[in-house]
Amino acid sequence: MKKKSYLSLYFLSLLCMIVALLPACKKNADVGSSVPPVITSIKSYVASPNDTVLHSAVAMGQWIVITGQNLQNATQIYFDGVSAPFNGALFAPGSAVVQIPNIQYAKIDTAKLYTVKYVTTAGSTTFSFKLGPAAPAVWTISNIYANPGDSVYVYGANLFFVRSFSYRGTAIPSFKLDTNGTSIGFLMPAATNNDRVLVTTKIGAVNFKLIATPVIAGISNENANPGDSVYIYGSYLKNIQKLTFAGTPVTSYSSSKDGSYVGFVLPTLTQSGPVSVTTEFGTGTTVYNVHDLVHGIIANMENDKWGMIGWDGGSQVTGNPANAQSWLPYNPDFPGNTSNFAVLKTNILQPGEGYGNGWPPDYQLAFDKEQWIPQANLGDSIQNYALKFEISIPKAWNGGALNIEVNGNNTFIYRWEPWKKSGTTTVAYTTKGWMTLTVPFTEFRKTDLDLGDGKGVPMTKFSDILDSSGNGTCYIWLHNYGGFATATGFYGAFDNLRVVKIK
């Protein structure tokens, strides 16, 4: 019994000690809830050794670790004044894991930029942290040809907090910023005197040089006659200071509003040569000559470049108006050509009908083997060359592909179907007299058993279509690949087949 009394006294003493310690434990636990937070650093939320101290954020949405003291009882965390959602389970007295929120810089209070504000039940602290947009960038201008007072936009990135903006040497005091930082809207000033766009923001500055050198992408008719209307297509073809065609000055011309083309009446030419357009931004010149019926000619139905293997029925050669003969009469349906040319005519084509599938050969033009490029140039990149010819289609054409086949045996084909529009929509196609059709060799594709004619792999080198001497053949024919009869037949003329270096 005496031993039991000793045990009772021991447990009673232990209970008293626990009760005495309880207030002290509670006091220690409450320390963090009564002292304001302190931030000492912000680190990357990546396992060591990559959890380095950050002085700026990589991107919105990035996970970071805020380190310091008394961080466990957070009520709000702000990045650049924007509240960030968080999970308190990821917090401890010395650290807090949080994701940087999505920030719309166009709407924030700039006084709070580059700050992290941490709020707990005991107070708050603000920590300097560089979180903001990157340096500004300018990419392009909506319309460099706008008239004074017209609305214009400069497009780029990080166009926030703009402090100053000038367009081509003229300060723009009033402008409108896109909320996504992708554009600056303004009214075209009355005067400009250089090629620079300057934007200065709170973050940095950009000095953008306008690149608006004229680009010539195509010419409506490279072998037009004097007095014919000719169009040059491309970009930045406006405010022209000088224009020459085959070395001959063109003094009267008219440009489209957006600078995508310039039209003029062709003057009398005395030589072949390139086309050149000069503006205040520079000069654009073709690498090839126009009015050139000598270099690269495969067939033009004239003398040593006759080219045609034969013709009958739907295909024929027509003579020039000055030398028409009974066996080679002139065809008045194709005015504007003073030389011989070939004509191809078909009736309405039924599904699957057309040369290349057992149908009559009079639905094709066949050109004999001829030197396409010098043997020394067989290794050149085909990206630099194109097959060109003049074509005239005076009557509506709707349905059937005009196949341009190089090397024969359905090897490499380009299918021209200009009447095709989006979806199943078609629009009857005609030309306004003669025009030049340019087909880069990269557009010729091999016939595929599953995909069809001209739908397989593209041509990659000249040896795909030419022999070791640089010689090749060409066939032009119609085929109806549709499930219904064509709406019309085809009636068109061809001249001056040639290989031209375009780059």
- For residue 471, the domain's CATH number is 2.60.120
The answer on pLDDT for 52 being more than 90 is no
Domain boundary among 290, 322, 338: 290
The predicted pLDDT at position 456 comes to 95
118 domain-assigned = yes
- Exposed/middle/buried for residue 314 (C-beta within 10 Å: 0-12, 13-18, 19+): buried
Q: How confident is the model at residue 356 (pLDDT cuts 50, 70, 90)?
A: low
Q: Residue 235 maps to which CATH number?
A: 2.60.40.10
Q: How confident is the model at residue 207 (pLDDT cuts 50, 70, 90)?
A: very high
**pTM higher than 0.85 for the full model?**
no
Q: How confident is the model at residue 500 (pLDDT cuts 50, 70, 90)?
A: very high
| DSSP one-letter string for 453-480 | TT-SSBP-SGGGTS-TTSEEEEEEEEE-
The answer on pLDDT for 361 being more than 60 is no
Domain boundary among 235, 265, 290: 290
Angle at 253 between CA 252 and CA 259, to 5 degrees: 150
Are 318 and 419 contained in the same domain? yes
Kindly report the number of other CB atoms within 10 A of residue 114's CB atom.
15
Are 339 and 456 contained in the same domain? yes
Are 184 and 259 contained in the same domain? no
* Separation CA 374–CA 471 (nearest Å): 9
Are 397 and 480 contained in the same domain? yes
The predicted pLDDT at position 18 comes to 38
Mean pLDDT for 300-317 is 75
25 domain-assigned = no
Stated length of the chain: 503
Are 227 and 193 contained in the same domain? no
* Separation CA 215–CA 275 (nearest Å): 11
Are 434 and 392 contained in the same domain? yes
15 domain-assigned = no
Are 455 and 491 contained in the same domain? yes
The predicted pLDDT at position 33 comes to 67
* Separation CA 43–CA 388 (nearest Å): 63
Return mean pLDDT, the chain.
Answer: 88
* Separation CA 392–CA 157 (nearest Å): 47
Instruction: Report the helix count and the strand count for the chain, using DSSP H and E.
Output: 2, 35
Mean pLDDT for 99-124 is 94
Domain of residue 163: give its range: 137-209
The answer on pLDDT for 406 being more than 80 is yes
Are 376 and 398 contained in the same domain? yes
- Candidate from 17-26, 229-238, 286-295, 362-371 with smallest mean pLDDT: 17-26
Domain boundary among 131, 149, 178: 131
Mean pLDDT for 495-503 is 96
Strand partners, 285: 276
Q: What would the pLDDT profile of 120-157 be if each residue is shown by its tens digit?
A: 999 999 999 999 998 999 999 999 999 999 999 999 99
Are 102 and 142 contained in the same domain? no
Q: What would the pLDDT profile of 134-144 be if each residue is shown by its tens digit?
A: 899 999 999 99
Structural domain count, the chain: 4
Are 169 and 146 contained in the same domain? yes
Are 234 and 304 contained in the same domain? no
Tokens 């063109």: give the residue: 250
CA distances from 450 to 54, 350, 416, 465 (A): 57, 21, 20, 22
Name the nearest CA neighbour of 74 among 131, 116, 20: 116
